[in-house]
């Protein structure tokens, strides 16, 4: 993650350097605007990372995933969607966890719903989403994604 | 003071929560804090890059360009770009919230923003890893279903957002 972040950063710095001779004032303005948005959102970002840390310590995804059990059907998809919505962690950690669940006998479509909901829905990041996009968008996007998460598991269940 | 508290309520709440945790179980609070610090430092460069891009976007990219690529005028192309960005971008999704909001303000449609966040659950670069852990049928089926569902999800959220004025 650090190395990919570095690549992105180098590309952006490259853009700034490339644009400098084109219009110095505009580049300075970009920098100012970048700094302003960062400064405005930094306390929120720090708070979100703090909450993520608390959640990973006290309610780790491994613990939440236990709710999944071995059941199948719509009920288990609903539980998976809930479990995913409160889970937080790096997307890469989802795969080994999903494998563990599969080996423990969990229903594959429920795992698909869990992964979907883990990444697309964030209860913990909801306050941050609401501050950036507005309450309406945050609530409806997460709510509809919840249904989509269940639907994705359901369709996978029909296919597999 | 009250204004500051109202603006930074999330920070204050988190701070308070940590304070309580430190009182009750200091070791676990420390672990939570270090886990937060590790996550933060692993994406710090990414955060700086994202905000650097937010600034560039505001001064160098014309509004008409964003409207034509990611707005209504972009048609199906705009939705496809959304899927592509979502499946390729890395890092926790919440890091790119400010960037997405900036794009939306400058003319991108709500459907594109939602599609990026929905298709985020598929990572093209990680499909080999997913196959290794969960097998071909699962990984491929999940990728196709997610991409197919991302577009209607985006259009539905957009329809709701445009129905009434923003909250």
Q: Give residues 91 to 110 of A whose Cβ lies within 8 Å of B.
A: 91-92, 95-96, 98-99, 102, 108
**Same domain, yes or no: B163 and B90:** yes
Of A32, A115, A140, the CB nearest to B157: A140
Global pTM value: 0.89
| Contact by Cβ (8 Å): A61, A97 | yes
Give tens-digit pLDDT for A87-110.
887 777 788 888 888 888 889 999
**Quick one: pLDDT at residue B39?**
87
Percent of chain A with pLDDT over 90: 63
d(CA A148, CA B147): 11
**Domain boundary, last residue among B40, B60, B80:** B60
Tell whether A25 lies on the interface with B, counting CB pairs under 8 A: no
- Whether residue B39 is found in the same domain as residue B78: no
Judged against a pLDDT cut of 70, whether residue A2 lies above it is answered with: no
Closest Cβ opposite residue B141 in set A129, A135, A159: A159
Give the one of B18, B49, B160 whose C-beta lies nearest to A8's C-beta.
Answer: B49
pLDDT score of A1: 58
- Three-class SS of residue A85? helix
d(CA B71, CA B64): 9
Number of domains chain B contains: 2
Task: Report CA torsion sign: B88, B92, B93, B95.
Answer: negative
Average pLDDT value over all residues in chain A: 90
Domain boundary among B60, B88, B108: B60
Pair (B41, B91) in one structural domain: no
Q: What is the ipTM of this complex?
A: 0.89
Identify the CA nearest to B152 among candidates B115, B122, B124: B115
Looking at residue B167, its pLDDT comes to 52
Q: Give contacts of B149 with chain A, Cβ < 8 Å.
A: 148, 151-152, 155
Chain B interface, mutation test: which of A84, A85, A107, A120, most B Cβ atoms within 10 Å? A120
B41 and B67 together in one domain: no
d(CA A143, CA B162): 17
Answer whether A43 sits within 8 Å of B47, measured CB to CB.
Answer: no
CA distance B102 to chain A (A): 9
B50 with B85, same domain: the answer is: no
Judge whether A140 is closer than 8 Å to chain B, CB to CB.
Answer: yes
Domain boundary among B60, B75, B103: B60
The predicted structure's pLDDT at residue B165? 61
Residue B142 tokens read as 């999940």
Q: How close A3 comes to chain B (CA, Å)?
A: 9
- In whole angstroms, what is the distance from residue A124 CA to residue B104 CA? 23
Q: How far is A19 from chain B (nearest CA, A)?
A: 9
Touching check for A130 and chain B: CB below 8 Å?
A: no
Whether residues B81 and B158 share a domain: the answer is: yes
Give the pLDDT of residue B86: 93
Q: Are both B55 and B67 inside the same structural domain?
A: no
A32 touching B (Cβ < 8 Å): yes
Same domain, B66 and B106: yes
Residue B83 and residue B55 in one domain: no
Backbone angles phi, psi at A98, to 5 degrees: -65, -40
Comparing A36-45, A64-73, A101-110, the range with the smallest average pLDDT is: A64-73
Print the domain residue range for B43.
1-60
Q: Using one digit for the tens of pLDDT, what is the confidence trace for B87-141?
A: 988 888 888 999 999 999 999 999 999 999 999 999 888 888 889 888 999 999 9
In terms of domains, do B104 and B137 share one? yes
Are B21 and B92 in the same domain? no
Structure tokens at A13: 């710095």
Number of Cβ atoms within 10 Å of the Cβ of B164: 8
What mean pLDDT is predicted for residues B147-151? 96
Q: Are residues B3 and B77 in the same domain?
A: no
């Amino acid at each position: 993650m650090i190395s990919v972040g570095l690549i992105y950063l180098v590309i952006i710095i490259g853009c700034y350097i490339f644009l400098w001779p084109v219009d110095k004032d505009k580049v300075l303005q970009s920098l100012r605007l970048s700094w302003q948005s960062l400064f405005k959102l930094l306390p929120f970002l720090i708070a979100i990372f703090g909450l993520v840390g608390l959640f990973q310590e006290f309610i780790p995804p491994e613990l939440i995933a236990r709710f999944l059990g071995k059941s199948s059907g719509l009920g288990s998809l609903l539980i998976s969607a809930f479990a995913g919505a409160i889970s937080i962690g790096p997307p890469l950690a989802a795969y080994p966890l999903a494998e563990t669940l599969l080996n423990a006998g969990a229903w594959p479509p429920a795992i698909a719903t869990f992964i979907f909901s883990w990444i697309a829905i964030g209860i913990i990041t909801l306050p941050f989403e609401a501050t950036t996009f507005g309450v309406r968008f945050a609530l409806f996007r997460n709510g509809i994604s919840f249904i989509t998460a269940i639907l994705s598991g359901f369709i996978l269940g029909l296919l597999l | 003071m009250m204004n500051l508290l109202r603006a930074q309520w999330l920070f204050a709440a988190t701070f308070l929560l940590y304070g309580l945790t430190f009182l009750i179980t200091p070791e676990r609070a420390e672990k939570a804090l270090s886990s937060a610090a590790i996550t933060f430092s692993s994406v710090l460069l990414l955060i700086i890059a994202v905000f650097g891009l937010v600034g560039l976007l505001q001064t160098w990219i014309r509004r008409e360009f964003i409207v034509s690529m990611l707005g209504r005028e972009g048609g199906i192309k705009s939705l496809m770009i959304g899927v592509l960005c979502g499946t390729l971008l890395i890092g926790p999704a919440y890091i790119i919230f400010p960037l997405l909001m900036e794009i939306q303000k400058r003319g991108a449609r709500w459907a594109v923003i939602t599609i990026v966040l929905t298709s985020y659950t598929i990572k093209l670069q990680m499909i080999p890893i997913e196959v290794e852990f969960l097998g071909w049928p699962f990984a491929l089926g999940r990728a196709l279903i997610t991409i197919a569902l991302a577009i209607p999800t985006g259009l539905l959220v957009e329809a709701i957002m445009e129905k009434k004025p923003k909250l």
